[in-house]
């Protein structure tokens, strides 16, 4: 009995590991492709491990395909959209959880209903609104409509703030603390786990977003990385000077930061997904 159980365990570990390699395989394959020469990529027998290595593709991929400006645009977009949305959500979450005012239930319901309306069904009218403000191909036009999608975040913070002891709020209010002070000194520090969960989901979503940037920001000065990566997928050859491995290297550069971040924050990521009210 003993050895057979041990064998079964080892088989399961081996099987789980092989499946894992298969699942991560496509990404590993792209990394391999990014380290090849153009001839190696087109070899009749695909190479899983490059027969010779070419790291300079990364330098050229960064210089000619991605460019610092686009990378910076992506960072600006993610930091501003998520930062602004976070501020709106945590303050709004506090308001609808702990403050008393008319219309509170109606506003809470409005946020909840919005969760069931996917962004794809409203993206055309959102573009129309943004266009009416004259914000197409500007940073505010790229950022604000995404920051304004506060339904999920506000409810996430509402749920978390509701679990904080009421006594803390009462004590602070009796001591004469205003709501603003309460938000900064009490809610923001205590809601750190909720903030982590919120950031894990929002940052990855924003970094990977494609349809909205394509609609609202397709001029070179505001373009973000996903648009460049999409152009690679569409077979844009970036003026005939850029090789296929350089394009793959550029793609890998855009993937790595999110993959690393995601692996570091995945417990928070799960809390965010399950905290959305369904579980």
Partner 1 sequence: MPDTQAAPITHVRPQAAVRSTDGRAAVFMLGPNVVLFTVFVGVPIVLAFALSFFAWDLNGAPTWVGLANYTAMFKDPLVGISVKNTLYFVAMGVIPTVFISLGLAMLINFQFRGVTIVRSLYLIPAAVSLAASAVIWQYIYEPKFGLLSYVFNEVGIAPPSQGFLFTPGWALPSLDVVCIWTTLPIGVLLYLAALQRIPESVIEAATLDGAGWFRRTRYVIWPGVSNMTLLVAIISLIAFTASGFDLVNILTKGQPIYGTETLIYYVYYSAVTNSQWGYAAALSVLQFVIIVGILAILAAARQFLVRRP
> C-beta of 58: minimal distance to partner 1 in Å?
15
Query: Shortest distance, CB of residue 55 to partner 1, whole angstroms?
Result: 19
Tell me how far apart the alpha carbons of residues 253 and 205 are, in angstroms, rounded to a whole number: 17
Q: Which two tokens stand for residue 46?
A: 């695909």
What is the distance between the alpha carbons of residues 148 and 272, in angstroms, rounded to a whole number? 18
CA–CA dist 22, 200 (Å, integer): 26
Closer residue to partner 1 (CB): 35 or 144: 144
b/e burial code for range 106-122 (CB count within 10 A of at least 16 → b): eebeebeebeeeeeeee
What is the smallest separation between the CB atom of 234 and partner 1, expressed in angstroms? 6
Looking at the Cβ atoms of 2 and 100, the one nearer to partner 1 is 100
How many angstroms separate the CA atoms of 5 and 146, rounded?
A: 53
SS3 1: coil
Using CA atoms, how far residue 107 sits from 86, 114, 158, in Å, is: 18, 11, 12
In the chain, what is the greatest distance between 2 CA atoms, to the nearest angstrom?
Answer: 77
Structure tokens at 24: 């991560």
As measured in angstroms, the least distance from the Cβ of 176 to partner 1 is: 10
Nearer to partner 1 by C-beta: 218 or 220?
Answer: 218
Q: Closer to partner 1 at the Cβ: 76 or 276? A: 276
Shortest distance (Å) from residue 80 CB to partner 1: 13
Q: Which is nearer to partner 1, 19 or 72 (CB)?
A: 19
């Amino acid at each position: 009995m003993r050895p057979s159980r041990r064998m079964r365990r080892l088989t399961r570990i081996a099987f789980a590991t092989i499946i894992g390699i298969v699942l991560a395989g496509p990404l590993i394959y792209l990394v391999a492709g990014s380290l090849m020469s153009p001839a190696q990529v087109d070899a009749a027998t695909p190479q899983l491990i490059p027969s010779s290595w070419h790291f300079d593709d990364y330098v050229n991929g960064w210089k000619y395909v991605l460019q610092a400006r686009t990378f910076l645009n992506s960072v600006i977009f993610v930091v501003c959209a998520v930062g602004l949305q976070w501020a709106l959500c945590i303050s709004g979450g506090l308001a609808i959880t702990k403050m008393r005012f008319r219309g509170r239930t109606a506003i809470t319901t409005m946020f909840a209903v919005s969760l069931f309306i996917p962004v794809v069904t409203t993206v055309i009218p959102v573009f129309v609104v943004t266009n009416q403000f004259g914000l197409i191909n500007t940073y505010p036009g790229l950022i604000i409509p995404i920051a304004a999608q506060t339904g999920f975040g506000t409810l996430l913070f509402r749920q978390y703030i509701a679990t904080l002891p009421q006594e803390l709020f009462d004590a602070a209010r009796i001591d004469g603390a205003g709501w603003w002070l309460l938000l900064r000194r009490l809610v923001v520090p205590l809601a750190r786990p909720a903030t982590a969960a919120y950031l894990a989901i929002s940052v990855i979503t924003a970094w990977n977003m494609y349809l909205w940037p394509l609609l609202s920001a397709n001029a070179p000065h505001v373009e973000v990385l996903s648009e460049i990566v999409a152009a690679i997928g569409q077979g844009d050859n970036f003026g005939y000077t850029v090789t296929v491995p350089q394009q793959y290297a550029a793609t890998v550069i855009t993937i790595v930061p999110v993959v690393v971040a995601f692996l570091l924050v995945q417990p928070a990521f799960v809390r965010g997904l399950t905290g959305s009210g369904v579980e």
